[in-house]
Structure 1
């Protein structure tokens, strides 16, 4: 995958989480993820600790298929972007090994530019270049 294509993929990925228009967001989800794609999220450490306190040893959140992915992206947009508090951006460290792409993104404060959160994304791409598996790790 050429560097420009890899950059385009990560730019489109990060942009979908900030898209205010529901129809454009829906179209972007369908363009990025395959029909039966899965998004697996390892929540932040404090959420995992709370789950362990309730007897859950591994907490993984899953969204499968376009409808669930649209809901996941929309909820993230509504919580973090719509209020005007944060914005997402790629860190520019994308790399690819065969059909697997990894990169980091960050959530930054619009008020002062401080980094409020960082995530690692590991994407498995299908033959058509769309995401079939999306592993998201919240790192801080």
Structure 2
């Protein structure tokens, strides 16, 4: 369980596009979906673009696990935070994850607990 969470946060924090795409291919099914109150994307290219958008919106910030990974059957959940090094988090929430039969992520549904106001 923790290994998947580690890979997931590594994907979100990877700034090199080629490296990030490789991480996404290893971590997500081809039709993997990420949905939260602001985004709904499907597929590897869209996932990479989503991460790139996060880097543009929050330069110098990284996502990190906030607490323990919980899971049962093919479902996981974890809390996350977004913060700059040495700073308090600017956003946080919970992700609910579905793991495919091959061990890769097929769906992540995110819930945002706090975030900066929309511009």
Rg larger in 1 or in 2? 1
Q: TM-score, normalised by structure 2?
A: 0.88
User: Is 1:16 the counterpart of 2:11 in the alignment?
Assistant: yes
Separation in structure 2 between the aligned mates of residue 29 and residue 14 of structure 1, nearest angstrom: 11
- The aligned length equals 114
User: Is 1:120 the counterpart of 2:94 in the alignment?
Assistant: yes
Cα deviation, residue 137, structure 1: 1.0
User: Is 1:35 the counterpart of 2:27 in the alignment?
Assistant: no
Structure 2 spans left out of the alignment, 5+ residues? 115-119
Q: Is the 8 A contact 2:33 2:106 kept in 1?
A: yes
Q: TM-score, normalised by structure 1?
A: 0.76
Structure 1 spans left out of the alignment, 5+ residues? 1-5, 44-60
Separation in structure 1 between the aligned mates of residue 67 and residue 10 of structure 2, nearest angstrom: 14
Q: Is the 8 A contact 1:94 1:102 kept in 2?
A: yes
Separation in structure 2 between the aligned mates of residue 21 and residue 131 of structure 1, nearest angstrom: 21
**RCO comparison, higher one (Cα < 8 Å, 6+):** 1
Would you identify which runs of 4 or more consecutive aligned residues in structure 1 move more than 6 Å? none
1:98 — aligned with what?
73
Cα deviation, residue 78, structure 1: 2.5
Q: Is the 8 A contact 1:39 1:69 kept in 2?
A: yes
1:79 — aligned with what?
57
